[in-house]
Chain A
Amino acid sequence: MSTTPPLKDLIVCPNCDAIYHVAEPKFGERAVCQRCHTVLIAPRRRAGAQIIAVALAVFILVLAAAVTPFLSIEAGGARNSVSVLDAALIFSGGPLVLVSLGTVAMILFIPLLRVLLVIYVLFPVVADRPPAKHAAWAFSLSEALRPWSMAEIFAIGCAVALIKVADLAQIAFGPAFWMFCVLTVLVVVQDSFLCRWSVWKSLETAK
């Protein structure tokens, strides 16, 4: 075995185990695994502050979208409009209550929790302070919850529901539907700004 460089200068691709010498990219560049094309490092200038700003916007939008109606229906004089909370609480009674708990979790609680975790982790980093207590744990949890945050799928669900009952009654989008559409874009933007390698590195060096 020839000489191995210091381990701290190396990076391993989590998806294919290829090992590289870290050649830290400049802002806006990306370091991509040559074997499986996973993006390993993608730093951005002022990414932390931008992510926090987007996270705050997401937080407000989720709260507002939870209580304002996203669809309203009218047929033969009867009228009904529903918010996400109404929709999530419809499966009351019996085992179907699990569906409502899951729905509320995936479209409200998990997105909100992720926002709080991301702000908690990134704020000290941006403010040049030592990392918050248990920041590594908080960031791990936020990453683990990512696939379970489903606000964007709910937005498409609204559109499908609208077309599904279009011939049964007159239905229209409420303000919360448009909030969910904006939310979908913001979540994508937030994820593309976040360079996980940079976050882990900043949590480590400041320790």
Chain B
Amino acid sequence: MQVVGLEIPRNGKVVTAREIGVVGCQRCTKVWPLGTKRCTRCGATIVSRDHKALQRVWAWWIVGLLCYIPANLYPMLQTRTLVSVQQDTIVGGVVTLINHGSYGIALVIFLASVMIPVGKFLAIAFLALAAQRGTTSPSSQRMGLYEIVEYIGRWSMIDVFVVAILSSLVQLNALAAVNPGPAALFFGLSVIFTMLSAQSFDARLIWDAERS
């Protein structure tokens, strides 16, 4: 696949829409005169820089964090066998898997349910603070971080699906049964809210924030 260059209006240097007094639609990339409120091609609201977006980012971020706390305190799964009843929190479930020698799955769950959510909270907070206060870190690196957050955040949902699958599958009368715990709800909500937080972020602010 060949990559073709787009022509840049001025000689050599990348120019932003704001610099030449126009504004681009973030949904369909159409260009409008500055001050246009709505893109008639796709119906999206147009803003040159959405600073209110940062408030939405923080609002979803806080709600997501508030849900992530009970998600770790309550049990995710309750496993009942002939000999025992066991309740596992997210971290407890990982420890159980390690004790059973399932290191690969322990790693998958640890990544999806602990590393990715925590990393995501930190990454979004860093990006939002950098946009608010300016930063010396290169824009391209922060853009890379934003793309990773957008791409990987949804995968945290895997633990909720595993709980749903196990609870429906392992229903073997007296022999064994798995039932979902309240943490499944809080964890799912936390993933949804952090996805909304990341989606609210205006990526263009990444490129404005770099101090020269």
Contacts and interface: CB of A to CB of B under 8 A. Distances in A.
B26 interface: yes
Interface stretch (B51-59, B60-68, B121-129, B171-179): B171-179
Interface centre among A12, A17, A166 (most CB of B within 10 A): A17
Contact of A14 (B43, B105, B175, B203): B203
Interface in A29-45: 29-36, 40
| B: interface residue count bin | 35 or more
B104 A163 contact: yes
B157 A82 contact: no
Interface of A: 1, 4-5, 7-8, 10-23, 25-26, 28-36, 40, 70-71, 73, 75-76, 78, 80, 82, 86-91, 95-96, 98-100, 102-103, 106-107, 136-137, 139-140, 143, 147-148, 150, 153-154, 156-158, 160-161, 163-169, 171, 196-197, 200, 203-204
Contacts of B139: 16, 36
B184 interface: yes
**Majority-rule SS of B interface residues:** mixed
Contacts of A86: 168
Interface of B: 1-9, 14-18, 20-33, 41-44, 81, 97, 100, 102, 104-105, 108-109, 139-140, 143, 150, 154-155, 157-158, 160-173, 175-176, 178, 180, 182, 184-185, 188, 192, 195, 199, 203-204, 206-208
A164 B42 contact: no
